Structures are given as C-alpha cells and as structure tokens.
Structure 1
Amino acid sequence: MQTHLSTPFGRRPLSLAMVAAQVSACDFAGRTGDAESVVHKWRLFRALTEAKVLIGTTDRALAVLHALLSFHPETALALPRTEEGLLVVFPSNKELSIRAHGMAPSTLRRHLASLVDVGLIIRRDSPNGKRFARRRCGKIDAAFGFDLSPLVARAAEIERLAEAARAEDSAIAFLRERISLLRRDIAKMIATGLEEAIHADWEELHRQLLSLAERYARNLARAELDALADELGILAEEVGSLLKARAKDGKMSGNDASNERHLQNQTTDARDIDHGLREGGAETPLPKNPDRGAAGVDSSEPSPAANPAAGEMRAASRVYPLSMAVAACPDIVDYAKGGAIGDWADFQAAAAIVRPALGVSPDAWARALEVLGEHDAAIVIAAILQRGDEIKSAGGYLRILTAKAEQGAFSVGPLLMTLLRRRASKPVVFRQASG
C-alpha cells in the first residue's frame, strides 16, 4: 500500500483535508495489520446517504460516489490491499458522467472535488493526470484514479453517524405526530366546548390555536418543533381542564331537554342519509320514537314553534366562530357579496343565495330557520354546498337534519368538525373572516 502522500495533478493544491484522509486510511490499514477488513459497499453507501448531512456532503455528490462505486468490480471493499491499486477506480469523465445520469462535466468535477474535501475518496493522479491502470501478468500493478479506501477506514464512523441521523429523524417524526395530534385534539375540544355551551373565551382559545398552527412548517428544526409541541400541550391542558370541569359537574349537554341526555347519533356525514336521497328519490321520513308524539317531538318538551323564546335561547347558545364556519365551508365565500365574508350577515346572505340554487324548497328552508336558527341553518346550507357532489337531494338532507335537531339529536358542531377533518391534509388553520 502506498505510504507517502499523493498530491493532485496540475494546479490543484494539496489541502490538509486530503492529507488527513490519506493519513486516516494508512493508519487504519496499519491497525488492522494482516487482518482483512471488509465492508459491503452498497450497505455502506446506504448508511452514508442517511448520514450525509452530518458528514457534510450532498445528494448530488453521493450520486457521483455511487457511480464511482459501480466501477469497482466487487461488492466487498477490503483492506489491507495485497496489490497496489486494488481499491482505485479509474473511469474517464465521459463514462463517469454517463453513470451519474448524464451529469455535466463541470458539475461532475465540482462534486468530485467535494468528495475529496470531505475525505470520502483520495485522488491518485498519474504523472500526466490521466486515469489508467498498469497491468503485469494480467494483474493490476499500479492504478491512477480515485482511491475508495477512506470509505473502508471510516466505515465504523459512517455507521455511527447514520445511527445518530436515524435517531434524530425518529425524534422529529415523533414530534410531528405529537403536534398533529395536539392540533386535532385542541380543535375538537374547542368545538365540544362550543357545542356544550361551556362558559369560556373560546374565541381567544381559537386565536391561540391559529397562532400556533401558523408556526408549523416542514423545515422546522427539532428544537423549534419541541418548543411548538410544548406550547400546544399547554394549550391542550388548558382547554381540556374546561371540559373536565364540566364533566365533573355532570352537565353533559347544552340543550334545554329536561333529562339532559347526551345523544351521539348525530347525522354529520352524507353516508348516514337514506339511499333514496342519494339517488334523488323521495324524501325519507325519520322513524318515529315511540316515546314521542306523532310529530316526532317529546310531548313533554315544548317545540320551538310553541315556545319561540326557548328556541331563541337554544340558538343563541350554539353560536360558533365565524372563522371556523368559513374554514369548514370555504366554497360559500364564492357567493358572498364582493367575494368576502366579514360577518354573520354576509354569511347568511350568501346562504340565502345558495339555498334556491341547491333546490331547497322555501318550506324546508322556513322549517330549518324555525328549528335551527339563522346561524345554524346558514351553516347547514354552506355544508351542503361544500359536499354537493355527495348529496343528491339537498332538500331531503336539510329536512332530515332539521327533524333530528328538533329531537335534540343534531347540532352543527360535529358537522363543522367533519368538514374540517376532510381538510386534514393541510394544517388545521381556520381562515380569518375579513373585517
């Protein structure tokens, strides 16, 4: 094995990094003595790919290294060398460019130099700078090109760095999962708090969630992700404590039913609608509850029509943030005057334009306004518009939801969250209403 320093041809200078790479390879060969040190070149290359940031190389430079490794005839890279030039590859720039997927000559030279600078290969230049091998009796006597021995000498280091990179990636993936879960949990808890009419500043909590969600990006470092996850965790604890306090009080629902039943069979997905509605058939009435009257309403409970004050109180207890409604149903903005929704009046005006376009009859709309209230009825219309490709009979869907709301089995909170979850491929960010 060559023990003296090899210097580059021409005007290229000899750097200390080149010296360090050659010394490291020589020292490694000296430590191993006659014992053969063998590494699998492609497994080593995979580890090198994982540790590229820690080593200081790039994916383009690794593409050149991959091409260099492909010129070595064996899968195993072994040290010490029994013959001079055993780990030296000597392709021409043209052949190397072809195996590097047609990389331009200037780019190829730049990445070869970067591989030398980080100590992954050594230049073994001939007196005239050409790359070739001198053979004697069919065996290589001397070779001039790129020496791959530093890869063998640094194999343990590369594996260690790859393991560290994998641990870092795993930690970052865990933090991203935690952030996604916290965003989802906080959004759902805020919706539940609104649904249950729990006394709290939900608008401020929503603004805090919005502010934290806007900080999330794909290029955040681990420390930034860790800080964001901690802040979201604090917000989740704050919102969760409000729900836990209400649960301990035993008040599970925000409706005015005398027995405070918490019904879970809320229709929030178009798949829950009878097949006849999907095919545009006749509207299917809800099955009557044997404990209720012919109108499907518990006779012990006054209907909204019989008690307008109770209906207004129930509607007032279920006012959701306008920004949440717009984020769940962004298509409604296209029907707003001036192309923007600044307040609930704009939202309701847009819903009034959409309603006849969807084929909802005046009678169904009047009934929805009577039972749901102006805000919730407008939200349902916006939701039907948002999922128009799934709902064949908008009027039938509205009548079903109105009937369920009259029974206390439907509210728009879960409907909004269903639509927000459908947009979960993007960060959970509520679009602010203008104004």
Structure 2
Amino acid sequence: MESGSVTTPFGRRAMTFGMLASQAAARKIEPGRSIDKWKLYRALCEAKPLLGITDRALAILNALLSFYPKGELSEDNGLVVFPSNAQLSLRAHGMAEQTIRRHLATLIEAGLLIRKDSPNGKRYARKEQDGEIREAFGFSLAPLLARADEIERLAAEVVAERLQLQRLKERLTLCRRDIAKLIEMAVEEGAAGDWSEIHLHFRDVVERLRRSPSAETVAGALDELELLREEIVNQLEMQAKSQNESGNAQHSERHIQNSNPHSIIEFEPSFETKQAARAEDRSAGWAEPMARITADDGKGGPLPAASSVPTAHGGGLKSFPLGLVLQACPEISAYGPQGAVSTWRDLMAAAVVVRSMLGVSPSAYEQACEVMGPENAATVLACVLERAGHINSAGGYLRDLTRRAERGEFAIGPMLMALARANSPIRGKTG
C-alpha cells in the first residue's frame, strides 16, 4: 500500500476485522512483485464460485482495472484508482450507481479491494509539479497483487473440477447409449430376460439426475449404470454362447405347427362395407368387440396369452413384453376395457376400437394379424395411434408395414424403443 498506516472508511461506514485483515495482508507484498492485470482478472473469473463474487461484481472490477494506467499491477506504479461512480457507470455499460455501490461493497467484503477514503470521502489524487501522483484516494488494488497466487490456485481448482465433471458426463453418456442399445437389441432379438424391468430400472437411475448435477451425483449414477451394463453384457454373452453350442437344433424345437390358428375375425366386429352404411351403424360397432370376446369366453375358453398365440405367418416377428408396449404407447390404454389395458386380451380388444377410429379397414387389420400375429398387429396399431398426427393414412401405412413384414424387412423393436424413449419423463435432459 501507499502508506503503512491503517485506513478507516469515511462517514457512517464502520471498520471491520475483515478490512483490517485485508489491509494487513496487502502490506506483505513482496518487493518488486508484479503481475499482468488481465491475466489475473481471467483467473478471478474462473475462481468466482470459490471467492463468493458475482458476474456483475466482476464487471465493476473490470472497469476499475481499466482505469489502472499500466498493464501490470505493481507497487512501483501505485495501486490506487480513483474514478467517480459516474465514470464507473460508463465503463460498466451504464450500470446504476446504487448497483455499483452495492457491488463495490461485495468486492471489499471478499477482500479483493480496499477503500482508501479521503478526508471528505471524495476520490481524487494529489500530484507533484511534474505531474507525478503523490497521493491518491479511491480504491486500492493491493489485495489483488497480494492474493495473486491464491487466486490462481483457486482458479486451477475450479478448472480441474469442471474438467472432471465433463469427463464424467462423457462416460455417463456413453454408458447410457450402450445400455439403451443393448436393451433394444435384446428386445428385438427376443433374448431371455425381464427386459421391461431392466429398462425401467435404467430410466429410474437416469431420471434421478438433475439438470445441472454435481460431480459426486454423476459419479454415483455412473457407477450404478456401469454395473447394470456389465450385468446386461454378461447375460447376453451367456445366451449367445449357449446358442452357439446348441446350433440349429434349438431353432427346430421352437417351430410350432398349427393347422387351425386363431383368426382375427374372433376379435373384429362385423361392419357394413357398403358406401350407404349409416354412421350410427359404424359407431355401434365400437362396443361389439368386447361383447364378442365376452361371448367367446363362455364358448371356447380363455384367450391364449401373447407368447402362445400361434399364427400362420407371424413367426418372423418377435413378441415384446406388454409393459414395454404400454410404456412406449400409453394412449392405447384409454381404449381398453374399462379404460385400461392389463392383459394382451385387453390390448387386442383396444386395437379393434382404435382400428375403427383410425379408419383402418377390417381386411387390412386382418391381413396384418395373419402376417404378424394378433399380439404384434395390436402392438403396431398402438404405435400407429401414438404417431397418428404424423400419418396421413393409417390404413395404407399398416398395409405397407404388413407387406414389409411378409418380406422380412420390418421389425417392431426399433419403432417400439424409439417411442419408449420419446415418451420418457426426462425427454430432452443432460447426458
């Protein structure tokens, strides 16, 4: 500092131990010490979370440094700047004077500035006859020079923590992608396992992450997801090894012949196909599937489960867990019996209602059931319902998917997993 005595504030401002400590530290500057003021300012910007200062306080400090005539802070050049609040406002992009005073107080409390008040509280400098400043009253930048090493160390810590968080987020993103792709592959290939439950556990871990998580939170989620990924990989590798050892015999065992497969006619209401059919006749058919299924329960026994419903041509498509279908296509539940879908029977009944609502002809849906199987056709129709706003002709779209499935060019898995991701509660979050 310019003097060895203690400087007390002007007017009603009280002296504090913090001010006394800052002035004592500023008197311990090493002789000949200097530092580039803008390099130090960049370090201050990095270290601001640890110093407890805001962006606007840094803007005021930037303005004060711009009034310092030299490029390097040094005691030899003096360390006091004395601009008025009006001048500071101009260089702080028009900041109000009350705001300037508040942020100056913040910088002083943080130990980055020292007030050197004149007898009347004004900021000015006394100069010699040759123009050299003999004494100045204003704000001393001595604490910046005295704490330069500390500020640079704090800045390095903040940068290191930010880089660590960035690396953890990158690893988390890669792990999330691996798990999502592996679950999608397992579902599409029909691998054994409760993939619906695994997927729900995966989403639960991801959803616990906030928009701006700390490094500790990301590290905890990463450990949990890496363990889940390892379990999934081990499970899939064991199944792949088992399939390689069994060869083609296992595929022959899974082939089931049935000369009398269930027809979609059992679940499809009879509609008048003539152009003169009345609208009320068509709407009356919406409630018919449920009555038909109820009547069938008394005649032919319970409807087979999705995994055991045999079809003439549907063996090429894999069945999916009902929970995953409902997670990917939640809108279909509103059209089930009593407004809910809890079994495959409910889903296929809801699909009949949706088929009529979307304008899909009975023949198109019957053909889809023959090619894909009733459960897969109902799943596809649930997916079409989710994307109804983007599909011009639901019937034409379903016929096209049926033709592709017949040629072996269509798989439900990618479409289902894409909808599951789109309907996730954390859609669009940091990863």
TM-score (normalizing by structure 1): 0.72
Match of 2:19 in 1: 18
Secondary structure of the equivalent of 2:165?
A: helix
2:61 & 2:419 partners in 1: Cα distance? 49
Aligned: 1:118 with 2:110: yes
Give yes or no for contact 2:334–2:340 (8 Å, CA) kept in 1.
no
Whether the 8 Å contact between 1:121 and 1:151 is mirrored in structure 2 is yes
Q: Counterpart of 1:414? A: 414
CA displacement at 1:178 relative to structure 2: 2.1
Structure having the higher Rg: 2
Distance 1:59 1:317 in 2: 57
Q: Paired residue for 2:196?
A: 203
CA distance in 2, matches of 1:168, 1:16: 32
| Residues matched between the structures, number | 371
Find the counterpart in structure 2 of residue 229 from structure 1. Answer: 222
Q: Secondary structure at the match of 2:369?
A: helix
**Per-residue deviation, 1:120:** 1.1
Mapped partners of 2:425, 2:76: distance in 1: 54
Q: Which moves more between the two structures, 18-27 or 335-344?
A: 335-344
Residues 182 and 232 in structure 1, CA contact (< 8 A), matched pair in contact too: yes
Which moves more between the two structures, 182-191 or 159-168?
A: 182-191
**Contact 2:401-2:410 at 8 Å conserved across structures:** yes
What letter is aligned with 1:365? Answer: Y
Per-residue deviation, 1:395: 3.8
- In structure 1, the residue matched to 2:124 is 132
SS class of match (2:135): strand
* Corresponding residue number in structure 1 for 2:76: 81
For 1:56, the aligned partner's letter is G
Cα-Cα RMSD: 3.8
Q: Deviations over 1:97-135 (max 9, x none)?
A: 454445454443332222112211111111122222233
For 1:17 and 1:136, the matched residues in 2 are separated by: 33
Match of 2:62 in 1: 66
Write the letter of the residue equivalent to 1:118. Answer: A
Structure 1 contact 184–428 (Cα < 8 Å) conserved? no
Q: Distance in 2 between matches of 1:104 and 1:144?
A: 22
Match of 2:155 in 1: 162
| Correspondence for 1:293 | none
Paired position in structure 2 for 1:193: 186
- Give how far 1:244 is off: 1.1
* Equivalent residues of 1:213, 1:428 under 8 A apart: no
Query: Can you list the C-alpha shifts for 1:297-351, whole angstroms capped at 9, x where unaligned?
Result: xxxxxxxxxx9725598599512343x4455456x36975799755466655665
Please tell me whether the aligned partners of residues 421 and 427 of structure 2 are also in contact (alpha carbons under 8 angstroms): no
Distance 1:56 1:339 in 2: 58
2:44 pairs with 1:48: yes
**Pairing of 1:235-314 with structure 2 (within 5 A):** 235-250=228-243, 309-310=310-311, 314=315
Any unmatched runs of 5+ in structure 2? 255-307
Task: Give the distance between the partners of 1:188 and 1:382, measured in 2 at CA.
Answer: 22
- How many angstroms apart in 2 are the aligned matches of 1:202 and 1:117? 57
Q: 3-state DSSP class of the match of 1:38?
A: strand
Shift of 1:413: 1.1
- The match for 2:297 is none
Higher helix content, 1 or 2:
2
TM-score of the aligned structures, taking structure 2 as reference length: 0.73
Q: Which residue pairs with 2:35 in the alignment? A: 38
1:150 offset after TM fit, Å?
Answer: 2.0
CA deviation after TM superposition for structure 1 residue 212, in Å: 1.0
Change (3 A) 1:17 1:391: same
Identify if the C-alpha distance between structure 1 residues 97 and 198 changes in structure 2 by more than 3 Å, giving closer, same or farther: same
Give the drift of 1:240: 1.5
CA contact (8 A) 2:80 2:138 kept: yes
Q: Is the 8 A contact 2:368 2:377 kept in 1?
A: yes
Match of 1:91 among 67, 83, 95: 83
Partner residue, 2:366: 366
Residue 310 of structure 2 aligns to a residue whose secondary structure is helix
Any residues of structure 2 matched to 1:382-393 within 5 Å, and which?
A: 382-387=382-387
Q: Give the distance between the partners of 2:350 and 2:33, measured in 1 at CA.
A: 78
CA distance 1:237–1:220, shift in 2 (3 Å):
same
Offset of residue 230 of structure 1: 0.4
Question: Deviations along 1:229-250, whole A, 9 cap, x unmatched?
Answer: 1011111111121111122223
The one-letter code matched in structure 2 to 1:79 is S
- Seen in structure 2, the aligned counterparts of structure 1 residues 79 and 369 have a Cα distance that, compared at 3 Å, is same
Structure 1 unmatched runs, 5+: 261-306, 430-435
Could you say what secondary structure the match of 1:309 adopts? Answer: coil
- Once residues 5 and 343 of structure 1 are traced to their aligned partners in structure 2, the CA distance between those partners, rounded to angstroms, is 80
- Alpha-carbon distance between aligned partners in 2 of 1:325 and 1:134, rounded to the nearest angstrom: 82
Aligned sequence identity (%): 44
1:388-407 alignment, distance < 5 Å: 394-407=394-407
